[in-house]
Each structure stands twice: as structure tokens, then as C-alpha cells.
Amino acid sequence: MQIDLEQIHEASLKILRKTGVLLDHPEIVEMVKKYGIQVSGQVAYFTSPQIMEWIQKAPGNFTLFGRNPEYDVCIGGDTTVFAAGYGATFIIDESGAKRNACLEDYLKFLKLVHQSDCFSINGGLLVQPSDISIAGPFPLLLYLSILHSDKCLMGGSDGARETQQSMDLLNICFGDRRHLIEKPRMVSIINSSSPLRFNRDSLDKLRIHAHYGQPVLITAAVMGGTTGPVTLAGTIAQANAETLVGIAISQMIREGTPAVYGTQSTLADMQTGAYVSASPEHALCIRYGARLARFYGLPSRGGGSKSDVHFVSAPSGFDSMLTMLTTRMEKMNIVVLSAGILDSAMAMSYEKFLLDLQIIAMAKRFVQGVHIDGETLALDPIHEVGPGGEFLTNDHTLKFCRSERWPATIDRSAAGLMNNHRDMMQWLQEKKAEMLGAYRQPELPDDVRSDMEKYLVDAGFGATLPITD
């Protein structure tokens, strides 16, 4: 595997040296020129020493801080943290019908994520509400995320104006730029525009996030056969080149900016050209992405519980288990799209969200492995019970029965809820109602809430500012 990584690394360096990456941003182009990078028009060409010098300035780990310190998380090493859905424009209901997502869905998912102990990160574009008429709505969604949860924050998809407004809201809630650099609060995705390009909006977003010290997930989502080579090796090499450039630029803007090596690449469906979010090839991209991140000494982002099918079903389950189990086995540090995703990330499902919580827990138990010591080898109990005996009433069983086995929350018995689809959906509806009923909004100081609402009204969000409890 090490030889494979080195071959991909060398191929990526050749791409950066010979082909280059287009940077669609005059200020960024001038900045990279200032640091000695060769530029022709908008295309930047990095030598091997240059790219390695800059990516090594990014921290190998960092802490993301929640409004509630209970949710502070270290990003890096062997730690894995989760964020739920991201960017879906539709909701698929229990019958498989599809509708546009709305603000009510966004609020419900905020509450469900807050209630689940699987997540330390909340917010972002859990879904994209269709009933918000204003362009660039993320500052409003960020306010709602802060209001309804005190976990760490996920950023949104936006250009310079909305990104700056988001930073202004963070300033109101948490303090000025110096405080945000000392205690990063919001992690955001910065995508390349494959092949080998970063567009203006992505670079503006990167520039502002790095200025305020907020972590960035530099992520290439190459589609082999459409936006990258159809061979997996070529797709991974191109994605690696794009990701390294984004990380290098983050350090040129502000050295020490927390930058995460992201991977969402896959092979496209060559019959339709569609993005394939769950396949053995995508799982292999996750594997190589995680290992390349460790190769460079960087935190990683990738994977999730994703499916390309259009409704909750057996295929949606094995799609999600494939990507989640690969993600956990490769020790990805940040996992976005970890719950609720259907239809190639175009749709969210409440039912699948709840089922994916089980997948996350099962994968977590699997990667914990087997704890072996004198007690767990159980030589004394085996001797006590002897040939033909039983362990059910043994003290050793009583001691370890709760800690050793994953506590399944879905009834697997012959008369249980998994007998038919209808009963399972009914159970999931009841589970959703239970979690939403148990939700309690965390406290937010009145003056902070008032100042954020005034800022949003002054910024033109007044007509869309929802009345919330």
C-alpha cells in the first residue's frame, strides 16, 4: 500500500508541475505569484518542494469548539466525528414519495441531530429549504443552528457576501476574530471544480474562512469518466492534486489555518453520467483518501452513510454500510453525509436518518475490535462451566453482558418490528416523534439572540426570519 501511495503522490506532483490548477480569483492568483509560484494566466504550476512546504504548515490536528464545551472535539489522530446530511434539496417520505425540503424540515433535523449522541456537529445545509425566497440563505440557517443547538457548527455553501455575514454572526455570538482563531467554531466544505480548477466562490469562501481561522474541509469530488480519468488510479491522483493545492492556498492566506484533507471522489455511472455516491469504487476512493491524508500528516474528511437508491430499502442499507464501515475502518476524522442520505445526496429521509444511527453505532462497535486480557479470555469461567454446561447464569456473563455486546435498538426477534416494511416504518415514525418530543432548546443569552436577529434584519433577512420558540 505504501508503494501505491507513493505512486499516486508522484503522479499528483507531476500534474501540478506540468498541467497546473486554474485559480479563478485575481487576488489569489497575485498571492500565489508573490510566493514564487509560476503562473500563466490563471493557471498555477507548483513544484514539488513548493507544494510540500505549504501543506506541511497545516496543523496535524485541532480542536473544534461547541457553544457547550461538552461538545468540543479534537479533529485528527484516530478520532472520528460526524455531521449528518448536507445539501439535499428533497425529502423522501416513508412511502418513497419525493417533495421539496422546507424550513420546517431543516428545524426538525436540527433537533434530531441535537438529540442524537452520534453527533458533535450540527447545522450546515442539513437540507436546502425551498420556502426561503432570499438568495444566499445560509446566514439565516446559521442563526437557527446556533439558536436550536449548542454543538459545534457546520458551515454552508455560499460566496463572499454570505460567508462574511456568517463570520459576523459568529463574532456576535462568540467574540471577535482573535477569539475565533483561538477557538474555531465552524467547519466548512471548500470544493474544487474538477478537473483541476477552483472557482471564484470557493476561493472567496476559503479566503474568508482562513482569515478568521475557521477550519476548512478541502474536498475534491472527481467523477471518474466525466470530470476525471475513468481509471480509479487516475481519478485519485487528480483529486489528490486538487486537494493539495487547496490546502496550500489556505496556508498562504493564513499560516496555521486548520485544513482537512477531503475526499468524495468516485467513478461516474457511464450509462447516465450521474454521480455515484455508494459503490465499491467510491469506498476505495475513501480508503486511499484517508491513507493519503495520513501520508501527508493531515486530518481527513470523507465517507458517510450514503445511498444512490430513491427510498429506504435493503439496497439503501447495504450501500450505507459499505461506505460507513470503510470510513470507520480507515479512521476518517470528519464524516459528513453520515445519516439520512438517499438519491445520490439529492434527498434526505427521516426514516433513513434513524436507521443510519444504527449503522454508525454498529460500525463503531466493529472497529473497536476485541479486547483481550485475563478476564475477557474467560479461562476460569470456561473451567467452572466445563463440558456440557451453560454460561447464562455464570457471574462472568452478568459482569460483561452489557459492555461486550452492541445494544441493538431495533427488535430482531421473530415477532419483532423487522417482519415487514410497514411495521418498521411505523416504528421509525414513533422513534422520530419520541426524539422530537424529548428535544429541549439549549439556552442562548437574550442579548446575543437579539443582536443576531438585528444583524439579520439589517442584512435583509427580516422578511424570512422565522418566529421560533
Q: Tens digit of pLDDT for each residue in 393-423?
A: 999 999 998 888 876 666 555 445 556 777 8
Strand partners, 100: 90
Supply the DSSP symbol for 40.
E
For residue 250, is pLDDT > 50?
Answer: yes
Strand partners, 187: 154
Strand partners, 217: 189, 260
Give the C-alpha separation, 232 to 105, whole Å. Answer: 37
Give the C-alpha separation, 219 to 110, whole Å. Answer: 24
Q: Which of 43, 21, 95 is nearest to 310 (CA)?
A: 95
Q: State residue 83 phi and psi, 5-degree precision.
A: -125, 150
Q: What pLDDT sits at residue 411?
A: 55
Give the C-alpha separation, 287 to 386, whole Å. Answer: 44
Give the C-alpha separation, 425 to 133, whole Å. Answer: 33
Q: What are the pLDDT digits (tens) for 83-128?
A: 999 999 999 999 899 999 999 999 999 999 999 999 999 999 999 9
Query: Is CATH 3.90.480.20 the right assignment for the domain spanning 62-368?
Result: no
Q: What are the pLDDT digits (tens) for 232-249?
A: 999 999 999 999 999 999
Q: CB within 8 A of 121, min separation 6: which ones?
A: 64, 73, 81, 82, 83, 151, 152, 153, 154, 187, 334
Q: What are the pLDDT digits (tens) for 278-295?
A: 899 999 999 999 999 999
Q: What are the pLDDT digits (tens) for 64-89?
A: 999 999 999 999 999 999 999 999 99
- Reported as type and span, the H/E element at residue 43 is strand 43-45
Q: pLDDT-derived band of residue 1, with 50, 70 and 90 as boundaries?
A: confident
Residue identified by cell 493564513 is 254
The residue extents of the domains of the chain are 2-53, 62-368
Q: For 254-263, give one letter per residue: b (16+ CB within 10 A) or e.
A: eeebbbbbbb
**Structure-block grid coordinates of residue 12:** 499528483
Q: Is the peptide bond before 229 cis (omega within 30 degrees of 0)?
A: no
Give the C-alpha separation, 386 to 76, whole Å. Answer: 46
Q: What is the pTM of this model?
A: 0.94
Asked whether the beta carbons of 340 and 349 are under 8 A apart, the reply is yes
Q: What pLDDT sits at residue 414?
A: 45
Q: How many residues does the chain have?
A: 469
Amino acid residing at 69: P
